[in-house]
Amino acid sequence: MKLNKLLERLEYTVTQGSDEIEITTLINDSRKVEEGSVFVCISGAVVDGHDFVKDVTAKGAKALIVEREVEAPADVTVIRVEDTRYALALTSAAYFGYPAEKLKVIGITGTKGKTTTTYMIKSILEDTGHKVGLIGTIEAIIGEKKIPAANTTPESYMIHKYFAEMVEAGCDSVVMEVSSQGLMLHRTAGILFEIGIFTNLGKDHIGPNEHADFEDYKRCKGMLFKQCRLGIANVDDPYFEDVFQNATCRTETFGFSEKADLRATGTHLVSEPGYLGVAYHVSGLMNFDVEIDTPGTFSVYNSLTAIAVCRHFDVPVEIIKRALKKAQVKGRIEMIKVSDKFTLMIDYAHNAMSLESLLTTLKEYNPSRLVCLFGCGGNRSKDRRYEMGEVSGRLANLTIITSDNPRFEEPQDIIDDIKIGMAKTEGEYVEICDRKEAIKYAIEHGQTGDVIVLAGKGHEDYQEIKGVKHHMDERELIAEVLEELRG
């Protein structure tokens, strides 16, 4: 491929050499450079690609894409752009032959609900014969292949690589989670989304290496609605108008409000031994009854979002109803059968907003006790710890404070921060640093009619300590605990 073909949708300046040269591969990881590569110098939070110019040219890189002046050998082409992350997105699209243009791309942004909704949409569309790829927090799904995720929204090169593989696998559409950081770092730049979705907004991801403040967080969420044909939004969210203030797309809304184009009415809880669900009537743009096998208001929002999207794919109502009934997501209100006396579930709720939403929902089912087990991640905002402690102390009858991903912090220091938030409430708590022991305590002390939530880990199967990810799956821990208790 000629370099100028790779750069055809980008504004750039040739500061050295020629853009007519042939290149072999597009690379942004210096370790993967080979003879004939074009290397994109990304200025990261930890590492700056511009510092590796000498290394990559020694390995055979024939072109560099930079955003500041570098010293390069005379036989190496240097391309100057304003933003190398943006350049990586557009050159990646060209490198893989613009695969996004061969797919209907559906992007979902919001503080919570993204993951569950992507699986719901995928389930419904596949029931009508569509072949749907998925990119999200848990994994990327390409045909029968599942690839564990490192980020909610991968780097732009990987997105287009996945898109190209999806086209090759016969996919006609893809549903993906679009994080605020993914938007901020231009990982989805240049993609025209068929549909962009806004679920909700809460004060999360604000702090070092994330967003400077809430205004920046809102602004980044809104970027999606400048690059989609149709925006579908939760009209009930207080920040809906802020997020859409600069939108350039057509807009439709969903929610409980009379203002919503697609709305839920007559919502009622469904409860049986070992089963929590919710039923409601879809009004407005569509008209039918639906029941979901997961509890609460957020399940209504998630399913309404999926319905709003699938309406544009002309999915028959009966297929929507059937697909919603069976759409389950690992680590999202995942019921684990451990006893006939009480209910135990695993959920990914890992910030104050999602934890409050989850616990408030479960309280509506009037459990004898609501027990919440959680910890907080290290090297993240301390505010999250205070807030989650306060939420659990206020809403749960018993909180079991434990360890999550301590990263480079001491687990006990994180627990002590959580207790500062707990102290603002009258909630009872115990602290058990070892997560398996904490789970054992929860199960051993479970009472008739309890609902016990293991919050924070969800689908994750590791615990990160001092920079190392150790295998830890809560499903396995539960099985081990049950075996020990039987013994």
- Tens of pLDDT along the chain (487 residues)? 999 999 999 999 999 999 999 999 999 999 999 999 999 999 887 899 999 999 999 999 999 999 999 999 999 999 999 999 999 999 999 999 999 999 999 999 998 889 999 999 999 999 999 999 999 999 999 999 999 998 889 999 999 999 999 999 999 999 999 998 899 999 999 999 999 999 999 765 555 556 567 788 888 899 999 999 999 999 999 999 999 999 999 999 999 999 999 999 999 998 876 678 899 999 999 999 999 988 888 899 999 999 999 999 999 999 999 988 877 788 988 989 899 899 899 999 999 988 998 999 999 999 999 999 999 999 999 999 999 999 999 999 999 999 999 999 999 999 999 999 999 999 999 999 999 999 999 999 999 999 999 999 999 999 999 999 999 999 999 999 999 999 8
Gap between the Cα atoms of 109 and 121, Å rounded: 14
Q: Are residues 133 and 243 in the same domain?
A: yes
The distance between the two most distant Cα atoms of the chain, rounded to a whole number of Å, is 76
Domain that holds residue 439: 334-486
Gap between the Cα atoms of 443 and 400, Å rounded: 11
Domain C-terminal end among 54, 80, 95: 95
Is 186 in a helix, a strand, or coil? coil
Q: Are residues 297 and 167 in the same domain?
A: yes
Output the domain CATH number for residue 276.
3.40.1190.10
Q: Are residues 136 and 258 in the same domain?
A: yes
Output the domain CATH number for residue 358.
3.90.190.20
One-letter amino acid for residue 439 of the chain = I
Gap between the Cα atoms of 125 and 119, Å rounded: 10
135-151: b (≥16 Cβ within 10 Å) or e = bbbbbbbbeeeeeebeb
Gap between the Cα atoms of 211 and 201, Å rounded: 14
Beta bridge partners, 174, equal: 105, 133
Gap between the Cα atoms of 304 and 298, Å rounded: 10
Sign of the alpha-carbon dihedral angle for 243, 245, 247, 252: positive
- DSSP annotation of 43 reads B
Q: Are residues 315 and 255 in the same domain?
A: yes
Q: Are residues 343 and 233 in the same domain?
A: no
Q: Are residues 319 and 356 in the same domain?
A: no
Distance of CA 320 to the CA centre of its chain: 23
47: left (phi over 0), alpha (psi -120 to 50) or beta: beta
Q: What's the total number of domains in the chain?
A: 3
Strand 468-471 to 462-465 pairing: antiparallel
Q: Estimate the crossing angle of helix 84-95 against helix 156-168, to 10 degrees.
A: 20
Gap between the Cα atoms of 422 and 390, Å rounded: 5
Gap between the Cα atoms of 420 and 410, Å rounded: 16
Q: Are residues 128 and 270 in the same domain?
A: yes
**Do the beta carbons of residue 230 and residue 236 sit within 8 Å?**
no
* Burial class for 388, CB neighbours closer than 10 Å (0-12, 13-18, 19+): buried
Q: Are residues 90 and 116 in the same domain?
A: no
In angstroms, the first-to-last Cα distance of the chain is: 64
Gap between the Cα atoms of 295 and 358, Å rounded: 9
Gap between the Cα atoms of 332 and 116, Å rounded: 7
Q: Are residues 140 and 259 in the same domain?
A: yes
Residue 206 CA: distances (Å) to CA of 180, 212, 228, 382, 415:
11, 6, 26, 11, 20
Segment (H or E) for 68: none
CA dihedral 348, 352, 357, 361 (to 10 degrees): 80
- Write down the pTM of the prediction: 0.83
Written as six digits, the tokens of 458 are 């969800």
Specify the pLDDT at position 420: 98
| Total Cβ atoms within 10 A of residue 9 | 12
Question: What stretches of 169-266 show up as alpha helix (H) in DSSP?
Answer: 180-184, 214-222, 240-243
Output the domain CATH number for residue 53.
3.40.1390.10
| Total Cβ atoms within 10 A of residue 480 | 13
Gap between the Cα atoms of 458 and 345, Å rounded: 9
Sign of the alpha-carbon dihedral angle for 387, 392, 393, 395: positive
Q: Are residues 308 and 413 in the same domain?
A: no
Q: Are residues 440 and 461 in the same domain?
A: yes
* Segment 393-433, tens digit of pLDDT: 999 999 999 999 999 999 999 999 999 999 999 999 999 99
Specify the pLDDT at position 207: 55
Specify the pLDDT at position 44: 82
Domain C-terminal end among 74, 95, 116: 95
Specify the pLDDT at position 273: 62
Dump strand ranges (E) for 221-360: 228-234, 250-255, 262-272, 275-284, 288-292, 334-336, 343-347
Gap between the Cα atoms of 171 and 194, Å rounded: 15
Side-chain-side CA neighbours of 185 within 13 Å: the count stands at 20
Is 132 in a helix, a strand, or coil? strand
| Total Cβ atoms within 10 A of residue 17 | 19
Domain C-terminal end among 326, 349, 378: 326
The residue written with tokens 């209907």 in the block is 104
* Segment 451-480, tens digit of pLDDT: 999 999 999 999 999 999 999 999 999 999
Q: Are residues 163 and 252 in the same domain?
A: yes
The residue written with tokens 């409860």 in the block is 271
